[in-house]
A = this chain, B = another copy of it.
Amino acid sequence: MGSGYGRRVDSPSDARSRILDAAEELFAGGGYDATPTARIAAVAGVPKGLVFHYFPRKIDVLVSLVDERTLVTEEDPEPAPGDAARALSKLARRLPLTASPSMRRILFREADTHRSVKDRIHGLNSEIIRRARFALELALPGGRGDAARLEAAAATFAAVLLYQESIAHLTGHTIDADVVADLMATALAQFG
């Protein structure tokens, strides 16, 4: 559970983190609507009232989670390496989205629940597509190429990256992003 990235030291307002940890786990598991705030408090091991002390409305828990525990890095990746497949693979590993698997499932699943979540998903996706397109362009000899193909390849790759966990969760099949990167690069290299 938790954001998965490092244990927080037991500090005064450590309770707040524990509440977010609990919410992350529960929202990813059963969904936002199906998770009572009392349950969050119980899992977090804090009294019910404290949840509302930190998060006046329930939706604030979700919004805070999304705001604080997902990060779309804005800075461009360093100039791509040699080939497109490698660039895509690198992108896969350096996803410009800092978010635990649980957080990705939440982003994905609760998109309609609150505008703030939906906005963030749009942002993420746009950013990933933009970078995938950038990386893939390297694969196109001469830089020209079929715009539609490039777009589809980029969007597909972005979807694989974004929804990897959800796909695995929902279908039981894991998709190896590196292999997909390789396929996309190979395919695009044929045209152009």
Chain A residues with a Cβ under 8 A of chain B = 29-31, 33-34, 108-109, 111-113, 118, 121-122, 125-126, 129, 148-149, 151-153, 155-156, 158-160, 162-163, 167, 169-173, 175-176, 179-180, 182-184, 186-188, 190-191
Contact A31 B183 (CB under 8 A): no
CA distance A167 to B155 in the complex (A): 9
Contact A155 B170 (CB under 8 A): no
Q: Ordered nearest first, which 10 A-B pairs have the shortest CB separation?
A: A33-B33, A187-B187, A152-B179, A125-B171, A183-B187, A186-B187, A155-B175, A111-B170, A155-B173, A186-B190
Contact A183 B152 (CB under 8 A): yes
Contact A167 B173 (CB under 8 A): no
Q: In the assembled complex, how far is the CB of residue A35 from the closest CB belonging to chain B, in whole angstroms?
A: 10
Known: A108-B170, A159-B171. 15 other contacts (CB 8 A): A31-B113, A121-B170, A125-B170, A125-B171, A125-B172, A125-B173, A129-B173, A151-B179, A152-B175, A152-B179, A155-B167, A156-B180, A159-B159, A159-B167, A186-B190
Which residue in chain B gives the minimum CB-CB distance to A171? B125
Tell me the dominant secondary structure on chain A's binding face: helix
Contact B30 A112 (CB under 8 A): yes
Contact B183 A188 (CB under 8 A): yes
Given contacts A112-B30, A112-B31, contact A152 B171 (CB under 8 A): no
Contact A156 B129 (CB under 8 A): no
Which residue in chain B gives the minimum CB-CB distance to A117? B170
The 21 sampled A-B contact pairs (Cβ below 8 Å) are: A111-B170, A121-B170, A122-B170, A122-B171, A125-B172, A129-B173, A148-B179, A151-B179, A152-B180, A153-B180, A155-B167, A155-B175, A156-B156, A156-B160, A158-B171, A159-B160, A159-B171, A162-B171, A183-B184, A186-B191, A190-B190
